[in-house]
């Protein structure tokens, strides 16, 4: 069976390793079926053919696609360029794709959507999400309740639904929490891989990255640990089950 391609954009090894373990654990993908590429240290293989893979999963990261070029670090610019180089192949071939947080910005930017920091940024914590009418019928949300809590934390957000996309999940604080392009290209603003321990680590590592006032870190950790977040992991499981037999 084909492997899954897992692309990561986190410069911090500890957070990257934790995210990778969470993606495997929540999805049920066996380690031997995961081709992991850490874009902060590794280049994409030349002439990468995504037809070799059952699907592509993209993790989050501290970069923002809407930042001006002069603000981005060389590393952030290089990782973003690598991701954007794959998007034509993904959208034109309708390659199974699940982008988590950073992935929704990359997908929407590629499709010509507006991604910026004007509205809908969410501080680190949990958000109450609801399936839309299209989300009720989408197989990637099978087994999830109509409304559920999810972990979020992002500075930029999609401002309007790009052409060709279906709106699957919304929340009061950020309307576009999950979208689909074509039949197989998905992206979430929330983190389906994350649990309270993962967010504790990210709060500690990213406390000075502008997501929240640093003095709020302990309070945010306490709130994340008290949140009842369990449903989003089913999205990763559904993705692996739906495409894993290809």
Q: What is the pLDDT of residues 190-211, one digit of tens each?
A: 999 999 999 999 999 999 989 9
**Across the chain, what does the average pLDDT equal?**
97
Structure confidence at residue 81 (pLDDT): 97
**Nearest Cα to 81, choosing from 109, 57, 100, 55?**
109
Q: Across residues 31-36, what is the average pLDDT? A: 98
Phi, psi values for residue 167, rounded to 5°:
-95, 115
Structure confidence at residue 167 (pLDDT): 98
Read off the DSSP letter of residue 159. Answer: -
188: confidence class by pLDDT, cuts 50, 70, 90:
very high
Let me know: does 130 contact 147? Beta carbons within 8 Å: yes
pLDDT > 90? residue 25? yes
Let me know: does 28 contact 199? Beta carbons within 8 Å: no
What pLDDT digit, counting tens, does each position of 160-186 carry?
999 999 999 999 999 999 999 999 999
78: confidence class by pLDDT, cuts 50, 70, 90:
very high
Structure confidence at residue 36 (pLDDT): 98
CA pair distance 3, 211, nearest whole angstrom:
34
pLDDT > 80? residue 246? no
Q: Across residues 34-48, what is the average pLDDT? A: 96
pTM, rounded to two decimals: 0.97
245: confidence class by pLDDT, cuts 50, 70, 90:
confident
Let me know: does 4 contact 33? Beta carbons within 8 Å: yes
Above pLDDT 70, what percent of the chain? Answer: 100
**Nearest Cα to 193, choosing from 123, 82, 103?**
103
What pLDDT digit, counting tens, does each position of 110-149 carry?
999 999 999 999 999 999 999 999 999 999 999 999 999 9
- Using alpha carbons only, how large is the chain's radius of gyration in Å? 16
What pLDDT digit, counting tens, does each position of 96-115 carry?
999 999 999 999 999 999 99
């Amino acid at each position: 069976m084909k492997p899954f391609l897992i692309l990561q954009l986190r410069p911090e090894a500890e957070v990257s390793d934790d995210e990778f373990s969470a993606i495997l654990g929540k999805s049920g993908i066996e380690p031997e079926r995961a081709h992991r590429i850490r874009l902060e240290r590794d280049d994409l293989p030349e002439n990468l053919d995504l037809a070799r893979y059952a699907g592509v999963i993209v993790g989050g990261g501290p970069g923002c696609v809407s930042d001006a070029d002069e603000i981005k670090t060389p590393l952030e610019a290089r990782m973003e360029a690598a991701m954007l180089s794959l998007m034509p192949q993904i959208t034109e071939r309708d390659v199974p794709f699940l982008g988590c947080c950073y992935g929704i910005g990359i997908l929407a930017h590629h499709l010509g959507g507006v991604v910026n920091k004007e509205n809908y940024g969410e501080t680190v914590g949990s958000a109450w999400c609801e399936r839309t009418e299209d989300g009720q019928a989408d197989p990637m949300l099978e087994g999830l309740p109509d409304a559920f809590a999810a972990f979020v934390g992002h500075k930029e957000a999609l401002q309007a639904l790009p052409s060709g996309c279906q709106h699957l999940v919304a929340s009061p604080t950020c309307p576009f929490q999950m979208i689909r392009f074509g039949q197989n290209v998905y992206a979430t603003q929330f983190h389906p891989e994350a649990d309270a321990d993962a967010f504790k680590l990210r709060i500690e590592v990213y406390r000075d990255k502008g997501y929240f006032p640093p003095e709020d870190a302990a309070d945010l950790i306490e709130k994340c640990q008290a949140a009842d977040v369990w449903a989003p992991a089913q999205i990763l499981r559904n993705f692996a089950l739906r495409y894993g037999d290809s």
